[in-house]
Amino acid sequence: MSWDTVYRIVKRIPRGRVTTYGEVARALRLPGGARAVGYAMAATPRGRGIPWHRVVGAGGRIRVPERYAALQRKLLQTEGVPTDGIAIDLKRYGWSPATKRPAKRKTRQKR
């Protein structure tokens, strides 16, 4: 299975913001939900610019094993996202992939 659709959404997460595995899964209507997104994040290929560290668990909790959790905290802190508490404040730093981009306005041609 290709995780490219997951990676496309993750690449859209702005610097200094995070989203949850569940939010990504809902945006894609992905079978297997948040767990499937977790598998995709675990399989993230290096060198493709995919900001895996911007995806966290429900409630803003870091859910990766400790070796990678320390790296994830460090990367988020360099982007200005505080990770000192129990969880990241999703109301302040959260981003939703379901947010639609402004529609492009069609310009009418003059006759």
Q: Taking residues 12-19, report their average pLDDT.
A: 97
Single out the residue of 83, 33, 41, 30 nearest to residue 60, CA to CA: 83
Look up tokens 């003059």; give the residue.
110
Share of the chain above pLDDT 90, in %: 77
Contact by Cβ (8 Å): 51, 11: yes
Specify the amino acid at residue 6.
V
Task: Look at residue 14 and tell me whether its pLDDT is greater than 80.
Answer: yes
Query: For residue 81, which of 71, 92, 65 has the smallest C-alpha distance?
Result: 92
pTM for this prediction: 0.84
Domains and CATH numbers, the chain: 4-93 (1.10.10.10)
Instruction: Give CA–CA dist 48/33, Å, rounded.
Output: 23
Query: Per-residue pLDDT for 101 more than 90?
Result: no
**Which tens digits make up the pLDDT trace of 19-48?**
999 999 999 998 889 999 999 999 999 999
13, amino acid identity: I
